[in-house]
Each structure stands twice: as structure tokens, then as C-alpha cells.
Amino acid sequence: MRQQDKTTHQPVIIAGMHRSGTSLTAAILKKAGVNVGNELLGANTGNPQGHFEDKDFLSLHQEILISQGLSAEGWTTLGNVDVPQQFWAQAMALCDRRTHEFDLWGWKEPRTTLFLEFWAGLLPDAQFVFPYRVPWEVIDSLFVRGDPAFPHNPHFAAEVWIAYNQAILNFCQRHPNQTFLFNCDVLKTDEHQWLNCVAEKFQRPLATPTETVFQAGVMHAQVSNTHRPALLARHCPQALEVYQALETQAELPSQSPPLDITVLTAAADHPDWVLQDWFTASHAQGIAAKMEPMQVELQKIHAELHKAQIELQQTQAQLMQAQTQADHWQATTRAMAANRLWQLRNAWVGV
């Protein structure tokens, strides 16, 4: 890579814990003129607007994780994952291609958080954008999405959140001029102001999108109004400590009032809330028991409907066969009527 390219075409790298607003951040930067890749991971129920993840960087990170015996999804409590030397040339070649294709480029991929020091060493002038989100909303989003890593160990979700965000904190402290740390909630209120702050710090020519990218309802925050933040404060206080450290260090912290861990911890001991999950689980079991006969009846209806569909298909096939035979005899009759010998035969019969 030429020295000029190293100083003028370094990427804007978007990283952070999964479900923390990295997709929204990448979507806004893409609208502002940052090319985040030609082949991007598509949309799904968890990201209806798309993931905005460059498939090449995603595949590279997954290969590295698998080579280290780790989950390809990036579910680990390691703050930093070593990159074996056999992947260095592949990573450099990938960056060289992007550098020669685009003047303003970057990528978004949450697993990048596990390789921050590697990428900082490979791309010494790269600039990093880190959104973060309150831990209970991230954990709730992971549970709702149904990631298979957490059903048998729900506490693991909090541990992963801590590992990712502690790695971001450490990296920002070591590279303050190359990082932009912010609470993803600010994107819900003023995308343009956020873009101006990023452009000003990194001295990047970012365009101002004409349309707002954020859509209300995409980032659910209902869990914030429940007892679960208090339970998290009681049983996983380190997550609250890391979140407060993020708020302290961020260029753009949350605009909401600061958390009072003492109040949250005291609230977690309220008897109504202590039994709330017990009630919710038992109530759900009761509803499931009431629905079981309905599900059995519904299965019977589906079976009968399937049988009726088969019979209908058989009847349609018989009708098509009968129609084919009728068409054949009609064609035969027309051919016979048009035949000269057949006409003479009919005339002779008439005589």
C-alpha cells in the first residue's frame, strides 16, 4: 500500500457490542458518503433495514474466531483475540482493494471489537466509531432474537456485553484521537448533529443526508420501564459500572438523567419485583396449558384441510384427463367430417 494511501484513505471502522446500534450507525454513515462495502449482509427480522456488514470482513473475522476455537458469532468474554499470522496477508489484501476502490470507505462488523489492536496496528491512521447501549436493552434484544448461546446460561449475555464494552473503553483510552464513543440513543433525536461531531473530530468530508435513517420502533426500549434494570444492578453490578464508565468517557453520552445505581439496587429488593419473573413464567405456563387443546384442534383442522386439498387435486386431475379425452374426440370428429372419403361415405349412406 502506498504511503499516500495510508494517510489519505484510511477507513472509518464501526464496531461495538451486538445489538448496540452499529447497524444504524453504519446506515447513517453510508448515507453520508462512506462506502461500507459492495456486498452487504441482508436484512432479517432482527435488522429489518439491513445489517450494513461487509461480507468480506465478516467472513474474515469468523474464520479467525473459528481458528482459535471460538464461536463464529463472537460470543466470548475475551476482550482481545489474537490474529494468527496466516490471516495477516488476507487482511492487508482486503484493505488494499478497498483503498484503491474508494476514497472514503469503511466497514461495520461487531466482531471487529475483538480485534481492535490488530486493526489499529495494520491501519495506524484508521478512525473508529463506537456506539454503545444500556446493557439491559442489549440483553433483552439478544433474548428476544433467540440466539442459541444464551438459553442455558442467560448470565453469559451480560458477561459478553461487559467484555465487549470494556475492550472499547480500554481502546479509547489508548487511542483517544482515533476514536469516537457515543450513546446510540443520540441517533434517535439528532442524526445531523451527531454527523457534524464525527466529521469535526475526524476531519472527514461527510455529507448531510436529506432523510432521517432512524425509524421509531426499530430499537425497542420497553425493558427499561420494567424491574429488570434493577435486577441487573443487583446481580451483575459490573455491567452498570462499565456503563457508567462509557457515559463518562463518551463524546456524546445519553441525554437522559444519569443512572443512580443505589436506587436501582434498592429497587431490586422490592418484594413485588422479586416475584415478578416467577409470576410471569408461571402465567406463561398457564396460558400454554390453556392453548394446548386449541393447538391439538388446530392440528386436526390442518390435517383435514391437507386431506381436502389432496382430494381436490385428484379431482382436478380427473377433470383434466376427461377434458383431454373430450378434446381428442372432438378433433377426431372434425377431421373425419373434413375427409373427402368420409363425405362420400355419408352421401352413399344417404342414397
Does the residue 217 lie in any domain? no
| 82/21 same-domain check | yes
Residue 349 located in a structural domain: no
Nearest to 181 by CA among 310, 327, 21, 56: 21
Q: If you average pLDDT over residues 249-275, what whole number do you get? A: 78
Q: Which three three-digit cell numbers place residue 49? A: 433495514
Cell of 15: 464496531
Pick the closest to residue 126 from 114, 112, 139, 136 (CA basis).
112
pLDDT digits (tens, 9 = 90+) for 6-61: 434 789 999 999 999 999 999 999 999 999 998 888 766 666 666 789 999 999 99
Residue 178 belongs to domain spanning:
3-210+223-274
Domain-embedded: residue 86: yes
pLDDT at residue 1 is higher than 70: no
* Same domain? 104 vs 174: yes
137 pLDDT more than 90: yes
Are residues 115 and 235 part of one domain?
A: yes
pLDDT digits over 278-301, tens only?
667 676 667 777 777 888 888 888
pLDDT of residue 351: 64
Beta-sheet pairing, 106-108 with 127-132: unpaired
Give the predicted TM-score (pTM) of the model. Answer: 0.77
Residues 85 and 142 grouped into a single domain = yes
On whether residue 215 sits in a domain, the answer given is no
CA distance 314 to 311: 5
**Rounded percentage of the chain residues whose pLDDT exceeds 70:** 86
How far apart CA 29 and CA 107 sit, in angstroms, is 10
In a domain, 172, yes or no: yes
If asked whether residues 232 and 308 sit together in one domain, one would say no
Are the CB atoms for 39 and 55 separated by under 8 Å?
yes
Return the half-sphere exposure (C-beta side, CA atoms, 13 A cut-off) of residue 141: 21
311 lies in the same domain as 167: no
